[in-house]
Structure 1
Amino acid sequence: MISSKDKLTVAPCMTTEKEMHQTGFKPSLRLIDATMLVAGSMIGSGIFIVSADITRQTGSAGWLMFVWFITGFMTLTAALSYGELSAMFPKAGGQYIYLKEAYNPLISFLYGWSFFTVIQTATIAAVGVAFAKFTAYLLPQFSEDLVIANFGILQISPAQLLSIVIIFLLTYINTRGVSNAKWVQTIITLAKILSLALLIIFGLLALKSDVWQTNWLSGSTWNLQRLNIDGSIETYTSIAAFGAIAAAMVGSIFSSDSWHSVAFIAGEVKNPQRNVGLSLALGTILVTLLYMLTNLMYTGVLTLPEMAASEKDRVAVTASHIIFGNAGTMIIALMIMVSTFGCNNGLIMAGARVYYSMAKEGAFFKKVGTLNKQAVPEVALWLQAIIASLWCLSGRYGDLLDMISFVVVLFYMLTIIGIFILRKKRPEQPRPYKAFGYPVLPIIYVLMGLSFCILLIIYKPQYTWPGLIITLAGIPVYYLIAKKQIVK
């Protein structure tokens, strides 16, 4: 009889490229492909939207940039720390594998459960619907305001159906092999990096001196305050100000998330011990720089009240009217369509590898742990597409994504703490790459992440309990699976 612990645990080992071939995966992603996966999975629609809410929460240009800087610093620190783990365990599964090796199968299952039920699938849905919403600027028949089916509590719009079509299209492309998916990812990511860079350049050229002076040279540059849509201002108490920063970071963290996607497909990266960690660093540095410059550009063409009051929070559209005139809306719509298409390709590609790894260890449906003739987890890809499509139809993905940020950061902290645990637990295991700035930078990240989570619990509990409930709901599921394994 095999115990549930034995069934769900595999012995630690270093995976060579030859061994990866034997498992069925084909290492075909180069460093440039891996870097484009990191950058492409990060850049979706968030950078074009969330700065409106951050501006309302902080009420000043200085604090707006500070929120993006802190988020970028945390993201880069985490990426540099994950480099050590990816070099130790260069195989499919990424963070799921790291948590299992550092802690136990229950912790890793709870991550995988949250990842499957909300984190990845609802993100895919949100990005897909964002694609459809901006398609409506070019083709109004896809508007989210139209209703083509009404089932009482459930109303279906053309935007939701288009998002499902896009998800299924990208899923199909991914089932045809990682080579097809990598070319889609690399080409589209390069295109959106170039278009975002051009938006920054044209925006800085269109900079208004009076707007810049108001935002940056007045006495309110570093006044942390609540800026309402009507332009009125509310003053925070000294303690509540920290809660406002945490609430503001929900948007920037969502926009910077999925940076670790390449770790999920480490088994398909050439020379993973080197290239996974390097691509994490290069991709996060590139995106952080682009995000900082984009927000700096916003503050040069729009006053803070204009940013805060942007229609449907689409601050990039508001800025584009200043930069490009009447053509601005169409330009931004095309940019976001390209951006979200590429983002979802990366999310779809990476997410399925987590469910595959879970299934290989008996923690998920057995069929999910199989590869097709193209050496990709086709069943996992289609299952992910179905769940993401259900989120598209529900219309609740946006609320849940705001509420899941707490859990996402919590698992990031646990993973980085895992570096300390593994250094003590397995000092003899080869580490081709060691976490940059260890132990200082990892400790700083954990302290910052802990502060973020505590502040959300105190000041924005609605951002914490739904994610915790979803995560903890995985505990009985885990023991049910473990019980079945014992019976077998």
Structure 2
Amino acid sequence: MPADDQGTSVISYRGATAIVAGCIIGSGIFMKPATMAAQVGSPVWLAVVWLIAGLFSLCGALIYAELGAMFPKTGGLYVYFREMYGDFPAFLYGWSGFAVINSASVAAIAFVCADYSNYFLHIPDLPPEVAGAWELPLPFLGKLYPLQHAGVKLIAVVLVLGLTWLNYLSVKAGSALQVISTVIKIAALGMLVAGILLSGKGAAVNFIQPGAMEKHGLALVSGIISALTGAFMAYDGWINVTFMAGELQSPRKDIPRSLTTGLLLSMVVYLLVTAAYLYVLPVDTMAKSPLVAEQAMYAALGNVSSTILAAMVVICTFGAVNGNTMAIARVTYAMGNDRLFFPWTGKDHPRYRTPGNALWLHGGWAVILVISGSFDMLADMFTFVAWVFYLLGGIGFFILRRRMPDYPRPYKTWGYPLLPLLFIVFSLFYVISTVWNDVSAFRSGRTPVINSLLGLAITALGLPLYFYFSRKNKKAG
């Protein structure tokens, strides 16, 4: 499977769409709405935040749809960055994806899946005196306790390794599982929405009635920016299908179609599920609920809600873990193929025609993040870093339009140049305002570190590796 469109082309349009929607819809719709409701204090603004995040994610997706159709190669944004800016920015993107952005996402979603799976499995934790015996201090961030939540972590490790093994054996099997799990999760969420909205136990006024915590002026702007971070995290994963372009049957057609379909489908699901929550929970109640989905289901369906919720979260997160596991290793594989990372990560399995070494490297690192318990803080931090790269990709889109005007473009971004410009302006605003928010939180003592800047600092830790591989390639060439 070389890093081009001559690889094992087994993933159909249906499979590509399942990768987009299945990677997006995971734990976010269960975990983020309560925090977002507290940040904006209004059901209308809550819906607006979901719409803004979805529409700007779609704007970005349309830009990357053109790039994906131009360069239908395994590696996605890493490949585009090499064309736009050269090896150095491409390496930084690939490194940050491996080190934290993508791996932490797999670890975080796997932990949520395992946590709710344990509702049925009942694997016990270690005694408190044992669980707290081993601590790992992290500068600026606090302490990690690897032995805490041992039962849940065991399930998460088995899940990550099991899905890594499946995708190691067969691209086709991983794709088929992704299609099945995505269909089941969307059907399950549809039944959840219907069950709550048809229960008759809510009030339509909740859709427009602001809460006592409603924000105004600068407080509202700050709240919207904070809520957007949660919403963008919930929408993240749409880029993953571009990583697998070399294995799509018709990448030039299917990347644009699957990105558009998958994101629109995810937007509809998020808005409907949020509407269902609001129907039975006023926004103030939602904002104070750590388990908003469970509380909403209990209000509508009674005592069976916990079992139903646990099953739904397991279904949604299982598919997201599989989709991310399948896709993210392709970036590291492409880097290894270009000798910008360890060359053995760019090797195909001789029998299965999968990027086996890269898959196991990612799986092993995700397991370490699960056991350490560091994935949550890293995933939150790197939502910002991911959008820095999305911004650079948007700028690079114009660079390629100017530098390569006659290059074949099977798909051209709708609304050019206005829509890509809008995406760049918004991305720049989001990046700057996130830094401003983080600095304010740090100065007021609400956070021990400036999260966004620490994210950039961790990305910069890959610099020695880049110079090592760059020097090695010069000697070899």
TM-score (norm 1): 0.89
| 2:319 matches 1:369 | no
Corresponding residue for residue 56 of structure 2: 74
Farther-moved stretch of structure 1 (53-62 vs 200-209): 200-209
Structure 1 segment 64-103 matched on structure 2, within 5 A: 64-103=46-85
Equivalent pair of 2:42/2:214 in contact (CA under 8 Å): no
Q: Deviations over 1:299-349 (max 9, x none)?
A: 111122221122xx3211111112221111111111111111111111011
| Cα distance in 2 between the residues matched to 1:144 and 1:344 | 26
Structure 1 segment 370-389 matched on structure 2, within 5 A: 370-372=347-349, 373-389=351-367
Q: How far off its partner does 1:207 sit?
A: 4.7
Q: Deviations over 1:44-78 (max 9, x none)?
A: 11101100100110111011111101111011111
| Cα distance in 2 between the residues matched to 1:96 and 1:142 | 42
Corresponding residue for residue 293 of structure 2: 316
Corresponding residue for residue 339 of structure 1: 316
| Cα distance in 2 between the residues matched to 1:42 and 1:344 | 10
Q: Deviations over 1:420-454 (max 9, x none)?
A: 11010111110000011111111111111111111
| Cα distance in 2 between the residues matched to 1:316 and 1:57 | 18
| Cα distance in 2 between the residues matched to 1:399 and 1:379 | 27
Q: How far off its partner does 1:142 sit?
A: 5.2
| Cα distance in 2 between the residues matched to 1:101 and 1:88 | 11
Look up the SS of the partner of 1:460 in the other structure: helix
| Cα distance in 2 between the residues matched to 1:145 and 1:254 | 34
Change (3 A) 1:235 1:273: closer
Corresponding residue for residue 476 of structure 1: 464
Equivalent pair of 1:369/1:377 in contact (CA under 8 Å): yes
Corresponding residue for residue 158 of structure 1: 151
Equivalent pair of 1:356/1:370 in contact (CA under 8 Å): yes
Report the residue type matching 2:204 in the other structure.
W
Q: Deviations over 1:59-104 (max 9, x none)?
A: 1101111110111101111111111000100010001101111111
Corresponding residue for residue 253 of structure 2: 274
Q: Deviations over 1:452-475 (max 9, x none)?
A: 111111122333112111112222
Equivalent pair of 1:131/1:337 in contact (CA under 8 Å): yes
| Cα distance in 2 between the residues matched to 1:128 and 1:368 | 23
| Cα distance in 2 between the residues matched to 1:260 and 1:112 | 13
Equivalent pair of 1:146/1:158 in contact (CA under 8 Å): no
| Cα distance in 1 between the residues matched to 2:236 and 2:453 | 20
Corresponding residue for residue 425 of structure 1: 403
| Cα distance in 2 between the residues matched to 1:123 and 1:102 | 26
Corresponding residue for residue 272 of structure 2: 293
| Cα distance in 1 between the residues matched to 2:124 and 2:224 | 36
The structure 2 residue matched to 1:441, chosen from 419, 422, 435, is: 419
Gapped regions of structure 2 (runs ≥ 5): 136-144, 440-449
| Cα distance in 2 between the residues matched to 1:207 and 1:144 | 43
Equivalent pair of 1:41/1:342 in contact (CA under 8 Å): yes
Structure 1 segment 135-150 matched on structure 2, within 5 A: 135-141=117-123, 149-150=131-132
Equivalent pair of 2:44/2:208 in contact (CA under 8 Å): no
The structure 2 residue matched to 1:351, chosen from 328, 335, 360, is: 328
Equivalent pair of 1:57/1:244 in contact (CA under 8 Å): yes
Report the residue type matching 2:235 in the other structure.
S
| Cα distance in 1 between the residues matched to 2:341 and 2:18 | 29
| 2:295 matches 1:303 | no
Equivalent pair of 2:66/2:410 in contact (CA under 8 Å): yes
Corresponding residue for residue 20 of structure 2: 38
Change (3 A) 1:144 1:126: farther
Aligned length: 454
Q: Deviations over 1:139-191 (max 9, x none)?
A: 33256997875542033221111101100000000011101101111101100
Percent identity over paired residues:
36
Equivalent pair of 1:321/1:327 in contact (CA under 8 Å): yes
Corresponding residue for residue 408 of structure 1: 386
The structure 2 residue matched to 1:252, chosen from 227, 231, 242, is: 231
Look up the SS of the partner of 2:123 in the other structure: helix
Equivalent pair of 1:133/1:142 in contact (CA under 8 Å): no
The structure 1 residue matched to 2:302, chosen from 312, 319, 325, is: 325
Report the residue type matching 1:428 in the other structure.
D
Look up the SS of the partner of 1:49 in the other structure: helix
Change (3 A) 1:136 1:183: same
Change (3 A) 1:366 1:147: farther
Q: How far off its partner does 1:361 sit?
A: 0.7
Equivalent pair of 1:207/1:297 in contact (CA under 8 Å): no
Report the residue type matching 2:29 in the other structure.
I
| Cα distance in 2 between the residues matched to 1:165 and 1:205 | 38
Q: Deviations over 1:380-426 (max 9, x none)?
A: 00000011011001112111111111111111111122111101011
The structure 2 residue matched to 1:455, chosen from 433, 438, 442, is: 433
Equivalent pair of 1:126/1:392 in contact (CA under 8 Å): yes
| 2:197 matches 1:204 | yes
| Cα distance in 2 between the residues matched to 1:148 and 1:321 | 35
Q: Deviations over 1:25-56 (max 9, x none)?
A: 21011111110111101111110110010011
Change (3 A) 1:142 1:348: farther
Change (3 A) 1:159 1:148: farther
Equivalent pair of 1:207/1:300 in contact (CA under 8 Å): no
Report the residue type matching 1:83 in the other structure.
A
Report the residue type matching 1:212 in the other structure.
A
Change (3 A) 1:31 1:235: closer
Q: Please tell me the root mean square deviation across aligned C-alpha atoms, in Å.
A: 2.0
Look up the SS of the partner of 1:277 in the other structure: helix
Structure 1 segment 7-86 matched on structure 2, within 5 A: 20-21=5-6, 25-86=7-68
The structure 2 residue matched to 1:167, chosen from 152, 160, 163, is: 160
Report the residue type matching 1:174 in the other structure.
N
Equivalent pair of 2:40/2:214 in contact (CA under 8 Å): no
Q: Deviations over 1:103-155 (max 9, x none)?
A: 11111111001000000100000011001111122233256997875542033
| Cα distance in 1 between the residues matched to 2:95 and 2:208 | 48
Corresponding residue for residue 7 of structure 1: none
